[in-house]
Structure 1
């Protein structure tokens, strides 16, 4: 019959790519069997996961270039923990003078078609014109 106990650990992380800082809570199960073999199982939200020092992924940008801090580090350095995101300012508030709203950009496929289509149309037009002129005035 396996014997063991659980501990709860909070690990602070920082992404070295986007500098996002966050904490993750883990449950660490320490189990041993009748033969004295021990194993540690790391759980996050009840799901077995690799240990925090191997393979942590940034929830901000998805990078795996992540470092961890000692336990309790962020509690001693609250300036590293990002605050809540500020609400975006409204573009128009009724009862005020409307400000100039920036025009929305054309979606990329439309811009790409224009960027490719205009030079292509000019080239085809020139070729058609050159062939019509050449047909009208054959070389002697």
Structure 2
């Protein structure tokens, strides 16, 4: 390798799974080898890494489904990297289930599930009882 120069690039990313937004800084070495081929070497903290568009994962959840923004985008939109929630989920006090009241105008999931499964079962059992117990007692003409 003979000719070359370095440039610094910041790549902002967003995880499409957990919506975490972060920015990574890279040093890119642009080199030309003895045959005239251009080569780029991407460095992060002085260590050679893959380019940001290949093989990067979310530091929060580990997902590989990411999107990137144009360079400098996060500097123009600081609300995307706002401070963390004032009360993380780990600190939310647990409410016992017995203290949660279901309102009469909106039944909870268990009640709806019982109705959705129970009504067809009751109809089926009622029909079977009628068919085998009451129907033979009624004479057919």
Length-normalised TM-score, structure 1: 0.59
Cα-to-partner distance string for 1:56-94 (whole Å, 9 max, x where unaligned): 110010110111000011111111113146477xx9xxx
In the alignment, which residue of structure 2 is the partner of 1:121?
Answer: none
How many aligned residue pairs are there? 92
**Shift in Å, 1:33:** 1.9
Q: Residues 87 and 19 from structure 1, CA distance in 2 versus in 1: closer, same or farther, beyond 3 angstroms?
A: closer
Instruction: Identify which range, 65-74 or 79-88, moves more after superposition.
Output: 79-88
Corresponding position of 2:63: 63
Q: CA deviation at 1:40?
A: 0.3
Which residue is equivalent to 2:42? 42
Which runs of no fewer than 5 residues in structure 2 stay unpaired?
95-141
Q: Any unmatched runs of 5+ in structure 1?
A: 92-100, 103-140
SS in 2 for 1:17: coil
Query: Could you list the runs of 4 or more consecutive aligned residues of structure 1 that deviate by over 3 angstroms after TM superposition?
Result: 84-88
Alignment of 1:4-83 (within 5 A): 4-83=4-83
CA RMSD across the alignment? 2.2
Task: Give yes or no for contact 1:21–1:82 (8 Å, CA) kept in 2.
Answer: no
1:4 and 1:31 in contact (8 A); partners too: yes
Distance 2:52 2:26 in 1: 9
Deviations 1:81-117 (A, max 9, x none): 13146477xx9xxxxxxxxx86xxxxxxxxxxxxxxx
Q: Determine helix, strand or coil for the equivalent of 1:79.
A: helix
- The CA distance in 2 between the partners of 1:53 and 1:82, in whole Å, is 24
- Equivalents in 2 of 1:33, 1:59: separation in Å? 35
Structure with greater proportional helix content: 2
